[in-house]
Amino acid sequence: MLVPDLAMQTGSAVPELTVEMVVVFAIAAAAFVLFATEAFPPDITALIVMVVLIILGPWTGISPEEGISGFANDATITVLAMLVLSAGVSQTGAVQQLGERMASFAGDDERKQLAATLAFAGIPSGVLNNTPIVAMLIPVVSDLANRGNTSPSKLLIPLSYASMVGGMLTLIGTSTNLIASSVTAQLAGQYPSLHRFSMFEFTGLGVIVFVVGTAYIMTIGRRLIPERLSPEEDILEEYELTPYLTEVIVDADSTFVGQTVEEALEETDLDVDVVQLVREEGTFMEPLAGNRIRPGDILVVRADFGTLRELMLTEGLSLVAFSQVTEEELGPEQEGQNLVELVIPSWSSLVTETLESTTFRERYDANVLAIRRGSELVRERMDRTQIRRGDTLLVQATQNSINRLTMDRDFIVAQLATEPDYRRAKIPLAIAIILGVVGLAALGIFDILTTALAGVVAMILTGIVKPNELYDSVEWDVIFLLAGLIPLGIAFEGTGAANLVGAVVASSADFLPAIGVLWVFYVITTLVTAVVSNSASVILMIPVAVEAATRVGGDPFAFVLAVTFASSADFMTPIGYQTNLLVYGPGGYKFTDYFRVGAPLQLVLSIATVFGIAVIWGV
């Protein structure tokens, strides 16, 4: 391991601050604030940054051509292709089949369930984008927990963490790796030791991180993960809905008699929903709007006590004596009715909308009973509540509606569908295409961009992905986020801002060896990732890390790897990495749970990663 002498550590003097640097720093600072406050969705923030960089071109050095270059960047296009490939595998149900094998292996033993979750989430994440892997496994893991009488909270954070460390196994495991490879390639002309990553270039380091990370989760982490949801708890009790659901009977003189459910609700300004109608012929649920109300009908209504009291006084309704609405009554299997949780991913079209503006009830024949945001519950005025990414909706719907919701990319259904429309016959073809993409790129016959695009074409030609599903398979917010931020990285390098920051950080070499500076960069990158996103941090930090490495006499490639791995290692918050956000609601977690479990893991992996880099590549 190289530990340079003091003269090499200090390098050349810190460059003087220029107007151009100040402008770029100001834009970066504003972007940080927008990302942290979520004033706009991350992809919109990235587009704003791109436009401002172009408008201020005389100071940022970004021409219109450079400003939009992110859309033609090989990393952006490769990420797009990999998202389509992941969606194709999802359409076949291959991951769900893995989940079924996981369930048969794990049984009701919590340790086996945890080990199976780590293995079946981590290893596939090395060759498929890890976000779709987690999305596909949430219902599998939730079902596994319920069948084994284990709290879902004990398995869902491990599911996310395993996909993150698994994504570090190969070049295509995460979009972060692909972006890092592209940014590094752009700097290769100035730094001879830099080059584009090969498919398995850092797999050895990835294995170290994966083994250390899973060992931590199986031992220390397992004890730190709280049991937020009880495995035996009725879902209505879990959402604290029992006081909000009541059975009322329609009196003969009720104003509701003769009206449809929709007409009755439209005439009242009260915050009330009819979620079920019971009469002699049977039980009716969504779609309820067109059902005419008769005397003697029993309505299950969602309302708080004050609203219910006013409704009974003004509309001629009576309380059903000794009645308590249970999960079995709302979702009797013989009626084909179910209560199910829907997770809202960041790419959902419902984000920033309301249930009212999306006509959710009419579009999906489903009724939302409550919304959960981590540990926070929303049970009133839900129609006007703005939906956020990561929200979990408790929905009452028929099994047919749930099966349709399962195939809708706007939702992640935290329950296995009984009759999913998977193309299971295509599983061998899908696996062969993925292996072809990985193999041809690994052998150097074609680059990953070419093989990934060829894989997309192969999936379309073989019917794994239908042409009309192609554009729906892409998480466009991710694509616009990448494309919008790439010009900021160019501006950082071109104006000398990266050089200045690198020089400041490199000053730590006055009292630290090169490996210590490397660790400092790892830590800084994880903190930046927690505030913004993994994509933004890798774009901004790689040029800075390379400058710092040059100044301390270190290996720039080693510093690039530290930044790359740190950018994929935000375990301390639910918002810094998308997979953490996906399990936030279904696990019923508090924001602080991620810090409690993730901070020690972050520390352990920072040491393991830095020493792994030092041993394999030197510093």
pLDDT digits (tens, 9 = 90+) for 439-484: 998 888 888 899 999 999 999 999 888 888 888 888 788 888 888 8
Residue 11 reports pLDDT greater than 60: no
Q: Which residue has the higher pLDDT, 332 or 590?
A: 590
What is the per-residue pLDDT across 40-70, written as a single tens digit (0 to 9) for each? Answer: 888 888 899 999 999 998 898 889 998 888 8
Confidence class for position 520, pLDDT limits 50, 70, 90: confident
Burial class (CB in 10 A: 0-12, 13-18, 19+), 106: buried
Residue 218 reports pLDDT greater than 90: yes
pLDDT exceeding 70 applies to what percent of the chain? 93
pLDDT of residue 313: 79
Least confident of 223-227, 322-326, 426-430: 322-326
Q: Which residue in 442, 577, 614, 594 sits closest to 166, CA to CA? A: 577
C-alpha distances in angstroms, 223 versus 112, 158, 200, 585?
15, 12, 33, 21
SS3 317: strand
Least confident of 35-39, 151-155, 427-431: 35-39
Least confident of 37-41, 89-93, 330-334: 330-334
pLDDT of residue 62: 87
pLDDT of residue 596: 92
Residue 610 reports pLDDT greater than 90: yes
Retrieve residue 510's tokens: 């006055």
pLDDT of residue 2: 34
What is the chain's Cα-based Rg? 27
pLDDT of residue 613: 93
Retrieve residue 146's tokens: 């319920």
Residue 354 reports pLDDT greater than 70: yes
pLDDT of residue 217: 94
pLDDT of residue 12: 53
Q: What are the counts of helices (DSSP H) followed by strands (DSSP E) for the chain?
A: 28, 10
pLDDT of residue 262: 77
Q: What is the mean pLDDT of residues 142-147?
A: 81
What is the per-residue pLDDT across 557-568, written as a single tens digit (0 to 9) for each? Answer: 999 999 999 988
pLDDT of residue 98: 76
Give me the half-sphere count of Cα atoms (radius 13 Å) on the Cβ side of residue 377: 14
pLDDT of residue 512: 78
pLDDT of residue 563: 92
Residue 215 reports pLDDT greater than 90: yes
pLDDT of residue 477: 81
Residue 5 reports pLDDT greater than 60: no
pLDDT of residue 232: 62
pLDDT of residue 420: 61
pLDDT of residue 442: 87
Whats the size of the chain, residue-wise?
Answer: 619
Q: At 391, phi and psi to the nearest 5?
A: -65, 150
Q: Which residue has the higher pLDDT, 120 or 50?
A: 50
CA dihedral 410, 415, 418, 422 (to 10 degrees): 50
Confidence class for position 362, pLDDT limits 50, 70, 90: confident
Can you say whether the dihedral through the CA atoms of 158, 600, 32, 58 is positive or negative?
A: negative
pLDDT of residue 317: 80
What is the per-residue pLDDT across 379-416, written as a single tens digit (0 to 9) for each? Answer: 777 878 888 888 888 888 877 788 788 778 888 887 76
What is the per-residue pLDDT across 315-353, written as a single tens digit (0 to 9) for each? Answer: 778 777 656 666 666 655 445 557 788 888 877 888 888
Confidence class for position 607, pLDDT limits 50, 70, 90: very high
Retrieve residue 382's tokens: 């839900």
pLDDT of residue 562: 92
Domains along the chain? 244-303 (3.30.70.1450), 346-410 (3.30.70.1450)
Residue 530 reports pLDDT greater than 80: no
Which residue(s) pair with 371 in the sheet?
378, 393
Q: What is the mean pLDDT of residues 148-174?
A: 89
Residue 170 · residue 126 · CB < 8 Å: yes
Q: Average per-residue pLDDT in the chain?
A: 82
